[in-house]
Chains A and B, each alone.
Chain A
Amino acid sequence: METEYLIAVAEFCASHKIEISFISSLQRNGLIVVKTIHDAAFIDVEQLPQLEKFVRFYYELDINLEGIETITHLLNRINTLHDEIADLRNKLRFYE
C-alpha cells in the first residue's frame, strides 16, 4: 500500500498565521486539493510548495484569488512552453 504524506490544514494555517477560509477558497477555485479524513481537512505534502506560493501571493503581494488563478494558469503555460522549447531544441539538434 502506498503511504500518503498529509498535513493538517489547521496546523498549516496556525503555523502560517492565516485563515482556514483562505484554504477553502483555494479549494473552491480548484487551485489545491483538500482531503477530508474523519472530518479533518488535510493537504498532500506534494502541494506544500504551491500552497506556500499562494500564501505569498495573497498575503504579501496583495493578489486576490482571481489574480492567483490567472497567474497560476500563465505560469503553467510558461512551463509548458519551456518544455516545448527544450523539445524543439532537441529536434533542431537532430537536423543540424
Chain B
Amino acid sequence: MTFVDYYKILGILKTATAKEIKTAYRKLARKYHPDLNPNDKDAKKNFQEINEANEVLSDPEKRKKYDQYAKDWQHADEFEKARQQQSSDSQRSGYSGGQSGADFSDFFESMFGGAASGSRGRQARYRGEDYTAEININLIDAYKTHQQTLSVNGKNIRITVPAGIENGQTIKIAGHGGPGINNGPNGDLYITFSIANHSKIKRLGDQLYTSVDLNLYTAILGGEITILTMDGQVKLKVKPETQNGSKVKLKGKGFPVYKREGEYGDLTVTYHLLIPANLTQKQKELFIKLSES
C-alpha cells in the first residue's frame, strides 16, 4: 500500500484552514470535474484523487486520524488493526460528477473503510458510471443493418447496428452503463465503431469510389465491362474513346445514408487504361500503320 499525500494533492500546507481546503478543492474540482472533461481518463483520475483528499481533509476527525497516520505511517500494520475495530462511519461530502463516486484508493479504503454517500447534507442519488466499448466491423457489415451481441461486464447486450454507420461514430445505449446508487439512474453505454476496409472500394460518408482497369481496345471502341459494387456485380457500358482517368457515377450504388432507409449515395468509377504489353511483330506493325494513318 502506498502512502497518499492528500495535502500535496490539494496543493495546500499541512496547516491549511478548513476554508483554505475548501477553496483549494473547489478550484481543482472545477479543473478536473468529469462534466467539464468528457472522455478524459486523466482528468477523471485526478478528480477522484482530489475528491478523496477532500473527503479526508474536510472532515476534522478523519483529518486528525490521517495526520497521525502520516506521522507514523511506517507503522501501517498497527494502524490497520486499530482501523478494523472501528466502524466505517464516513460521510461523503464530495462531488458526484455524474459518476458513482465510490472510487477510492486502497490507502483510503484501508484507513477509513468504504464510503457512504451524501452530498450537500442529503442522501444523494448518483447516476451510474457511463461505460464505453469499441466494436470492430468491416465495411460489408456496415453496409447493412444488422444485429450484434456484445458482452459488457458479464451481461450480453444485443444491439441493432444501422446501415451506413461511420468509422469512429459513437452510439449511446441508454441505461446500459454502471448501476445507479441510491436509486439513481443507470449510466449509459457508449459504443464506438471501428470500420475496417480491406476492399478496393473507398468510402467517404455515403459516397463510394473505385477504379477499374480498362483494356485499350474497349477504351477506344467501347464495350461492356463487369464491376464489383457493394451489392454485387453490375454491367457497365463503356463509351467509345474513353480517356484514361475519366469517371462515371453510378447513382444509388454508393453506401446507405445513415438512418434513412432506402437512400444511398453514389459510386464513382475511375477508368484506368491498360496499355497492351508483349506485342507480336504483327501487332506492332498494325500500330505503326495506325499511327501513320
A71-96 residues at the B interface, CB under 8 angstroms:
71, 75, 78-79, 86-87, 89-91, 93-94
Q: Are A60 and B119 closer than 8 Å at their CB atoms? A: yes
Chain B interface residue count, Cβ-Cβ cutoff 8 angstroms: 27
A56 partner residues in chain B, CB cutoff 8 A: 33, 35, 95-98
Contact of B204 among A15, A52, A62, A90 (CB under 8 A): A90
Interface check A42, CB cutoff 8 A = no
B169 at the interface (CB under 8 A from A): yes
Inter-chain contact count A-B, CB under 8 Å? 55
* Residues of A close to B36: CB separation below 8 A: 71, 75
Contact A94 B204 (CB under 8 A): yes
Main secondary structure of the interface of A (DSSP, over half): helix
Interchain nearest-CB distance for A48 vs B (Å)? 8
Contact indicator A94/B202 (Cβ below 8 Å): yes
Q: Please, how many angstroms separate the alpha-carbon atoms of A59 and B33 in the complex?
A: 13
Contact present for B167 and A52 (CB under 8 Å):
no
Given A61-B26, A61-B29, A91-B204 in contact, is the A86-B169 Cβ separation under 8 Å?
Answer: yes
- A75 vs B25: C-alpha distance in the bound complex, in angstroms? 22
How far is B33's CA from A75's CA once the two chains are assembled, in angstroms? Answer: 13
Q: How far is the CB of A45 from chain B (nearest CB, A)?
A: 10
Partner of B125, one of A15, A57, A78, A90: A15
Nearest B residue to A61 via CB reads: B30
Smallest Cβ-Cβ distance to A89: which chain B residue = B168
B35 CB, min distance to chain A CBs, angstroms: 5
Complex interface: chain B residues within 8 A of A87 (CB): 166
CA distance A91 to B203 in the complex (A): 9
B125 — which chain A residues lie within 8 A by C-beta? 15
Q: Say yes or no for A17: interface residue by CB 8 A criterion.
A: yes
* Cα–Cα, bound, A79→B37 (Å): 11
26 contacts between A and B (CB under 8 A): A15-B125, A17-B120, A17-B122, A49-B127, A56-B95, A56-B97, A57-B35, A60-B95, A60-B96, A61-B26, A61-B33, A61-B95, A62-B26, A71-B36, A75-B36, A79-B38, A86-B166, A86-B168, A86-B169, A87-B166, A90-B166, A90-B168, A90-B204, A91-B204, A94-B202, A94-B209
Chain B contact residues, CB within 8 Å of chain A: 26, 29-30, 33, 35-36, 38, 95-98, 119-120, 122, 125, 127, 166-169, 185, 197, 202-205, 209
- Please list the residues of chain A having a beta carbon within 8 angstroms of any beta carbon in chain B: 15, 17, 48-49, 52-53, 56-57, 59-63, 71, 75, 78-79, 86-87, 89-91, 93-94
